[in-house]
Structure 1
Amino acid sequence: MSALSPVAGADARAEDPLTLSRQGQITDKVGALEDRESAVNASPDRLYAYSVASAAPLTEGGQTEEARTAASSNTSGSALVLPVALVGCAAALAAYSSVKRKHRASTRTTPKDGPEGRHGPGESPRTPLPELDRRAGLALVDTDDAVRTSQEELGFATAQFGEGATRPFQDTVTYAKGELATAFRLRRQLDDANPADDRTRRRTLDEIIARCTDANSRLDAESAAFGRLRAGGRDAPEALAAAEAAFRELTGRNVTAAATLAAMRERYAGSASAPVGSAVEQADDRLVFAAKNLDDARRAIGAGDNGRAAVRVRAVESAVGQATTLVEGVERRALELAEAAGRLPGALMDTETDLADARGLLEDTAEGTEEGTEERTAESTAESTATADLEGRIARAEAVVADVRQEQSAGPYDPIDALRRVEEADAVLDEALAGAREREVREGRARALLDHALLGARSAVGAAADYISTRRGAVGGEARTRLAEGQRRLDQAGTLTELGDTRGALAEAQHADGLARQAQSLAEQDVRSLGHRSGPGGLFGGGGTRG
């Protein structure tokens, strides 16, 4: 994929990162604010304004280099992916976000009335195709950030006011998620097909941008009402008390998660705990951030500054929300590893049974070939190919079983990875045996394989989603696209399972597993490479992936 760039005019160019004011002052280098000073100082006007991704260039742990240096005495090395500017003035950034988004919309050259617009199907002649591709990529990252942060903020509001009061906002987020899912699917189709037809590519890119714009517009339309709901529901002391309770509860859970992670590392191979290896440390960092803002909120209330206290409490809620995701990831991984370890012995026995059946089928095929050689000369080539294919499947399954049993006897191993390999090898073997088995046996074996595949797929999708969500200020569009497609495939596997299409569901689950693992790997590369994203899509825009 091409590197992403901001959705701006065709002559947009990257600028050096800015050092943001610690007092919350806004530096407007694009003229987006114009005469909107009052809007900047107004209350938050976006449903997803309180993003917890860094609004400045990230380092390894997610802080700015300046912030990392300043905090090195009291934070760990895997520092926060948290709102640098939010500490100073979240409300101002929320207003700035809305104004800048409108500025980008006013300078865009793609049609505003849909992917075809007044230029006809697929025609936006003023925008070069590579630039349109970059804009579509940025739109996906920006909208994904907006939807993720909207869901987090909606979760806080639902817990406070109940589902009835927040249902209109839930409908809005659901709609935005649907538009985003379609946009991601179009991006995936475009990446897979890579069509030579420029008009087709242009039309698809225009539709991606249009759908992302529509999703953001729906969130914008509800943001004022959502802000009034949250602002009017409780006073600052009550909000502070709720935030403190959530903070204390999560602090205890994180201590337990640390013990769980230590036990995982002792019992299993390093790869087993790797997806959540830094989760406790990351959660600690967010709790440090939350504790500081709780102190600031208390001081603000004591000084009678309830507006400032509200901003600090929102920062606490966001930090606690991300820390909760990290802690839940550790808890879920421990359960998944235990389940996989429990399933593995049965999976090995099933595979060995299938190996015995396959060897018997191979012997029968060989005997039949020898008895009818003269009469069946014309079919000998096809039979030889089928025999070689079956022999290859048998050899692969034998090797996997031997490797897994050796890993089990050698010491700590990764049961999820082991179960995945056994399931994949057995699925290939089972496919060759399907024609020779009774229907009941075929369906029973397919269901067992599907259960194993779904466990691996759910684990991979969940781990990738948590990783991207808690580090989204540094993750570009390619990883998000793979994750979105992996989630779609996993959902489709569930649908096919309900319809009784076990083999179709198995194929979808295997695809979901592979896509999610690719997404996690790509996201990790983005975080390591840094600099590709200068902030969350919901606040400042910007983004990138490998070229």
Structure 2
Amino acid sequence: MVGFWGRRSREANAAQDAADTELSRKAQLALVAADERIRVASDELAFATAELGDSATANLKVGLDAVREHMTEAFQLHQLNHDHIPDTADELRTRNARIVQLCEWAESVLDERTTELKERVERVRRAPETLARVRATAEALRSRLPDMQGTLERLAAMYSPAALQRVRLNADDAEQLLDFAVRSADLSERRRASGKLEDANLALEAATETLRRAESIFDSIDGFEIEALRTQTTLADVIEDSRGDLVAARTERRTPEVEAAIERLDAALAEVSGSRQRDPFADLALVSAANAALDEAREKAAKPVIPLEHVRHAISAADHSIGIAAGVIDGHRGWIGADARTRLSEARRIRSDISALPSSEGTREEALRLAHRSSALAEDALSLAQRDIDSSRNGHGGGDWGNWGGRSGRSGGAGSVLGPVIGGVILGGLLDDIFD
């Protein structure tokens, strides 16, 4: 047995030694990699500072300084592992784990900070190409200015000022933006030549952003014209459909709602045909809403009108059901549970909702529905009340009054009936006097 445990102990020690050896190797490799990463990051910082300036690279510089400070600890721990003073296995293990942790943190910080600069550095390195593209694009857009002006004049003759508000800028705005983009490109080139890199980069960003805004003006004008034409086509279809709906509506049942919807749609059609310069987007919304209102009114008018007598009969039935349920519940208060009382209360509430409805053909369906619902609740209340009463009479509620002091033969029935009257009251010997 001793040999077995000794073998297990030797195996565990061998496994731990192998893990410690691997950790030591990993710590040494991590130190070498981190040291190389610091060197590369230092070079990247120098290049980026030369191209972007000090302020743009300040974040990387701060990160690099922090990494160098913490890596000093890692190198000191590595030195302790290899000095002439013997160390325990636990000490070596703890130091190597800390070295690995510091190196991984250092690489993570430097990766994050250098990644932030890569895109900006690439943009700066492509500055000559970017400047050439800005100038070429600006010149191409400038050649389109006469066509843009002609398009705007044509649109102004076709559409109302309200419609043209969707194109808030004009050809003059586009020309000013193009001029500013070119001047910014020239300034960027001059600042870079004089060594003012930060100013050069800012001017380059201003040039590209201004050019983007100028392009968006051209795109918005073209897009407006296309969308306006599409909207006009849709509007023509809706107008044709609306005129057909008006013809059909005048041959159908004409309720007050239908009459009002016809007038509204007539007015909308007259308005959109009233002048040459219109807002097709607003016109489409106007006619579509009026057409939808007429469709809804016609749909309601097409439904069979519920006879008034049917509604009155349903309401009378609800009143009758409520009256019966209320009579039973009020006459047996001590026996009736909460379910029956709740349903009766809800039936009464719904009945009051019927009285609040305006008296018109349009509300008859709702009144009929509420009346049926009120009746159903009252009938449920009555059914639950009868169940509670039967349960109490069978001795399951309100106490068992069927046997007072051995007088079961004389008082069995009377006790159940009077249970709700005297329930919870201690009458003592008075009960004998009552039934003698």
- TM-score tier, shorter chain, comes to 0.3 to 0.5
The structure with higher relative contact order (CA 8 Å, sep 6+) is: 1
Taking structure 1 as the reference length, the TM-score comes to 0.33
* Higher Rg: 2
